[in-house]
Structure formats: C-alpha cells, structure tokens
Structure 1
Amino acid sequence: MRGAFGHLRTEIDNRMFAAKLLVWILFTVVGAVLALRAGAIPRLTGVIVLGCMFAHAAELQHQTLHSLGFRNRRANLVAGVVLGVPMLISFSAYRATHMRHHRDLGTPANREFFDYGDQYGAGGQRSRSRVAWDWTIRFSMLHHYGLFIQNCLTALRRLDYDGETATVARRIRRDHYLMMALLTLAVAVSVWSGTAYVVWLWLLPLLLVAGPVHALVELPEHFRCETLNQDVFANTRTIRSNRLMMWFTNGNNFHVEHHLMPNLPIEQLPDLHVEIRDSLRNFHPGYVDFFRKLVRR
C-alpha cells in the first residue's frame, strides 16, 4: 500500500518549518510577557499561552525526530533539542524510543517514550478510585517527570541507559546536561533577582497546562485500539479536526497516515488521508467527538 502513494512524497520545505518555529516563538514571547504582567487575568492568560506553547513544541519536536523539519540533519537536531527543553524532553531519548515504537507497534515489544501508566486503556475492571488515580497519573505526567529525574541522575553518574547503544547514551546525557544547566540558570536568576520568574515562566505553565494538554493530545492516537494487531488501521486512530487543531497538533491528528508512511512530509498527511479515509477503522471527525464518546463509554 505504501508503494501506491509514492506520488505524495515531496521535498522537505525548510521555509515551512522555519515559519512554524517563528510562530511558536512569537506566541511563547507573548505568553511570557503576559505572565510577568501585574494582575491575575494577564498572568493567568500568560501561563495558559506558555503551557500550550510548551505542548505545541513537543508536537514540532516530533517532526524533527523523523528529520522532516529541515533537510539538514544537524538543523533538525538543534531545533529538536531546543523544542524539548520546556517539557524536559530529551531529543535523543525520545527519538530512539519513538523509532522503536514505529517498528514494534502491534507487538508486545511496543513501548512509548511518554508513560501514562495505563497506556492504551486496557486496564480491565477497576474501582472508581483506581480509575480516578489512573487518569490523575496520565494528566499530571508524573511518570515523565520521574523519568527525567532518573535520567539526570544517570547522566551525572556518567552511566549508560538500558537498551541504548553507547553513542545514543552519550547523546541522551548531552541533552540532560543542557536541560539541567538551563534549569539551574533559571533558578539562579530568580533567586538573584528576588523574583518568581521561574515559577511564572516555566513551572506553572508546565505542571498546570503543558502536561495535561500534551496528555490530551496524545491520548487518542492508540487509546483502546487493537495495539497487539500489526495492522496500522487497527492499532492507530485518525481524527479529522479543524485547522486550529491541525496546526496545534502539527498534523499528528492524522496518526494512521503518519504510521502508514512515517517519512512522508507532515504537510502531505492530509493528502494521504484523502486516499485512505475509506479504509480507516478508528476515526473521529473531531477531538470533541472523540472525548464525548470516550466519556460516555
């Protein structure tokens, strides 16, 4: 089937991804300015905008993992490392895990970088308190922050990471050294200036907005699909959403299409969707439709 859609492949457009980065920077700066203004409403608005941009950065980073942002590999690396900093995402760790996810999806070996506990909703019968706890874990992304701390300790001890080659482990350590240095600098500036900059510009947007929003965006991709079935139409879901959400998720709403042709430029996923939409088994016309049906279920 992939061979039948070779005509959709186009050359990676550097200008397109550069424009995406500029828009992200613009909104991030606006959020930061608002978050530092006096008054509850501007600050709350700024925290929300910043948190959403942190989550959007993770979606842009996903494009660089596949080397689909820029034609130059090093440019993808630099952009990907920077985009992962707000949510403490190591580009190298994410890339290594994500490539295996594409390879192993549909098998018991499949693992994803972001661990939400009950990853795909196959937890079976559970008490209400357990269900509430599982959803709290998912939307707080506690596992992700715990993994970041664990990986930082591993980096400080100059140890390798389980399942990774020495080269990949060295790159993962590099990412964590950078994130630790930037966090230390941010805290130091806040303490030196006697302000709560690091709280308003990073901690609150991350914990209150970015984590839950990112979890919501990733939830539909494989949740309650046939994740032990190697057929991409069975183990993955596509959501045909509005232009705002297509921009915010950076095309990840077309997730069946992405898994079918992982190296297809993001901008071509809507065209692939037109070609295969009649074959989709897990499909929703929008995110609201997905979550409404999920809650009812």
Structure 2
Amino acid sequence: MSEPVTAAQRELLFQRSPVTHHDQRLFIAKLLVALLLAVAGVALVIAGSAVFVIAGIIVLGAVYTHMVELQHQCLHHSAFVRPAPHRMVGVVLGLPLLISYSHYRVRHLQHHKYLGTAKDTEFFGFDTRKPLTYGSLARGMFDYRRLVRVVFASWQSWRGNWRFENGQISERLHRDSVFEYRLIGVAVVSASVASALGLGELVLRLWLLPLLLVAIPLHFIVELPEHVMCDESRDVLRNTRSITGSRLSRWFTNGNNLHIEHHAAMGVPLQQLPDRHPYVQRTARHVERSYWTFYRRVIREVVHQPRRATSSSGSPPP
C-alpha cells in the first residue's frame, strides 16, 4: 500500500535539473553503442548464413526500437547541453521507424500536458484507458496502419497541404514537420529504387523485416507499461507506472522505465532519475519490480477481461 507523500519527497520528485556535460557525454556514448550494434546487425545480415541473417534481423529491429527511446530523450531536450543538436540527432534516430521528430515532439509534449484528462492522446495511438483484450493488444502490437498514415503525411507534405490536426503549432514547427515527412518520403522512395535496381533482398533484410517483424511490435511492448491499468487521475503518482527493471532493460529503454519520475520532471536527463526512484517506490501506486511482473499482470487482465465484461452486463457466466 502506498505511503503518504511528504512535502520533502514531492520536492525531490518534481525538482528540475539541467543537462550537464557529463549527461551529454553519456548520451553520446549511448549513440555510439547503438551505432556499433547496428553495424553488428548489418554484418550478421550480410554474412549469408540463415542463422546469422535471422540474428541480424533481430538485432537491427531491437536497435531501431532502442533508437526511438534515445529519440525520446531528444524530444525533451535533455540529451545535449545546447538545444540545437536535439532535432538533428532526433530526426536521424526516428528514420528507421518513419517517425517525424517535430510532429512526435509536439504530440508527446501534449501528452505530458494533458495526461489524466480526456485531451490526452499519444502519438502512437494505443488508448491505454480502454479494456485490454486479445484484439486490442494485437492491433497495438502490429499497428502497420501507422506506416500508411506516415506515407500519406509524406505525400501531403510534398503537395504542400499537410496540417497538424491536434491543435495549433507554430509556423516553425509546421515547417520542420513538413521537411521531416518529405525526408521520410525520400527514404521510402530510395528504398523502392534500390529494390528495383536489384537490391531488394538487402532492403528487405536490413530494413523492412527488422521494422515489420521486430521493431514495431517491440516498440509497443516497451511503451505499453507506461500508463495502462493505471488510475484515471491527474496525480502522476497514480496515473503512471515505473518499473525498477534490470540493467539490460534500463539501458534498452534509455531510463524510460522510470516513467513516474520522468513525468514528474520531464526535462531532467533520464540518467539522473534513479536517485528519485526510492521515493517513488514508497509512495506511488503503480511500481513493478520488473517488466516480466508487469507482463504477467497484463496476461491475467486479458484472460479475465471476458469474465468481467459478462459480470458487468448482468448475464450469468457460461
């Protein structure tokens, strides 16, 4: 059971902290690790052996997912000491999953602002407030419709009629989003041209299969714990979940496992958040020891959901 939150605990949890040069060096090191893993994935794919090809596809898909977690830190301008590099790096990190950095940033900051209200809508579309069912999980895990929407947004951007549909944004952000969707369009067309010139197998193995079979479902799995099965409340200690996690999961999610701490102070570099986790463990409503314990809860929820629906309708169980 959660303990009462003291003023001192709340002060620490919500305390702002600037990006230091140490934080910046650490983020650059994470970028280099991601690059090395991507190179390793490419090397496995081109090795020729079926086992190596499969391993390479899995590695590349995982790296593409990890890159979105790194992009998430760029969204909050908490990776570099100066603001300028965030967009430049963030655009590149989002390309494998066809994510417009600027569009994602606006929508994500809206999510932080409106969390716990009816205005809350995340960029990736899975509504965590609805009941968990086999169908909703499958649709979220294999949300290929988003790729269709991205291609359409790219087409609109090239035609000059792309519009932000979730409120108002500045002319600069609109211009940046249009540029990024055009860039995504260039990447898709380039992959298509490469395929037509006889490089289709490489495009398939280095991008399409890692994207469709690994990165998209894995990204959903990583993002799912953040707010699902939490309270409909404006209190961050009730509407968000943190996961203590292992060293591997903390690295792979780039510290986004501490999501309560992140929502409490979203501009704080993610590597600074572990110092705040003991307070969250003692005071927050939704804290899990590991991702496995969370996913077991999800499985139980999905299994028992039909029974709850039957009970609430007043019909006797079969």
TM over 0.5, yes or no? yes
Partner of 2:259: 255
Is 1:188 equivalent to 2:193 in the alignment?
Answer: yes
- Does the 8 Å CA contact 1:58/1:83 hold for their aligned counterparts? yes
- Does the 8 Å CA contact 1:8/1:268 hold for their aligned counterparts? no
CA displacement, residues 67-109 of structure 1 (integer Å, 9 cap, x when unaligned):
0111121211111000000001100011000111000001101
- Does the 8 Å CA contact 2:16/2:267 hold for their aligned counterparts? no
Partner of 2:143: 141
Matches within 5 A, 1:157-168: 157-159=159-161, 160-162=163-165, 163-165=167-169, 166-168=171-173
CA shift, 1:64, in A, is: 0.2
1:69 aligned counterpart, secondary structure: coil
The structure with the largest alpha-carbon Rg is 2
1:294 corresponds, among 298, 313, 317, to: 298
Is 1:264 equivalent to 2:274 in the alignment?
Answer: no
Matches within 5 A, 1:20-99: 20-99=30-109
- Cα distance between partner residues in 1 of 2:251 and 2:281: 20
Partner of 2:288: 284
2:123 aligned counterpart, secondary structure: coil
CA shift, 1:194, in A, is: 4.4
Deviates more, 1:159-168 or 1:80-89: 159-168
Deviates more, 1:32-41 or 1:184-193: 184-193
- Does the 8 Å CA contact 1:34/1:42 hold for their aligned counterparts? yes
- Does the 8 Å CA contact 1:240/1:253 hold for their aligned counterparts? yes
For 1:123, the aligned partner's letter is P
CA shift, 1:209, in A, is: 0.1
Q: Alpha carbons of 1:4 and 1:285: their partners in 2 closer, same or farther (altered >3 Å)?
A: closer
- Cα distance between partner residues in 2 of 1:161 and 1:154: 11
- Cα distance between partner residues in 1 of 2:244 and 2:130: 24
CA shift, 1:121, in A, is: 4.9
Is 1:216 equivalent to 2:221 in the alignment?
Answer: yes
- Cα distance between partner residues in 2 of 1:5 and 1:292: 28
CA shift, 1:154, in A, is: 1.9
CA shift, 1:152, in A, is: 1.3
Q: How many residues align?
A: 288
TM-score of the pair, normalised by structure 2: 0.86
Question: What RMSD over aligned residues (CA atoms) do the two structures have, in Å?
Answer: 1.8
TM-score of the pair, normalised by structure 1: 0.92
CA displacement, residues 245-266 of structure 1 (integer Å, 9 cap, x when unaligned):
0000000100000001111111
- Does the 8 Å CA contact 2:102/2:177 hold for their aligned counterparts? yes
- Does the 8 Å CA contact 2:102/2:173 hold for their aligned counterparts? yes
CA shift, 1:178, in A, is: 1.1
Partner of 1:203: 208
Partner of 1:103: 113
- Does the 8 Å CA contact 1:8/1:271 hold for their aligned counterparts? no
Partner of 2:230: 225
- Does the 8 Å CA contact 2:16/2:265 hold for their aligned counterparts? no
- Does the 8 Å CA contact 2:13/2:261 hold for their aligned counterparts? no
Q: Percent identity?
A: 36
- Does the 8 Å CA contact 2:154/2:184 hold for their aligned counterparts? no
- Cα distance between partner residues in 1 of 2:239 and 2:55: 37
Partner of 2:310: none
Partner of 2:312: none
CA shift, 1:150, in A, is: 2.7
- Cα distance between partner residues in 2 of 1:6 and 1:295: 33
Deviates more, 1:242-251 or 1:260-269: 260-269
Partner of 1:245: 249
- Cα distance between partner residues in 1 of 2:29 and 2:155: 36
Deviates more, 1:211-220 or 1:270-279: 270-279
1:16 corresponds, among 23, 26, 34, to: 26
CA shift, 1:221, in A, is: 0.3
Q: Alpha carbons of 1:51 and 1:222: their partners in 2 closer, same or farther (altered >3 Å)?
A: same
Q: Alpha carbons of 1:132 and 1:3: their partners in 2 closer, same or farther (altered >3 Å)?
A: closer
- Cα distance between partner residues in 2 of 1:170 and 1:278: 45
Deviates more, 1:106-115 or 1:181-190: 181-190
- Does the 8 Å CA contact 1:154/1:161 hold for their aligned counterparts? no
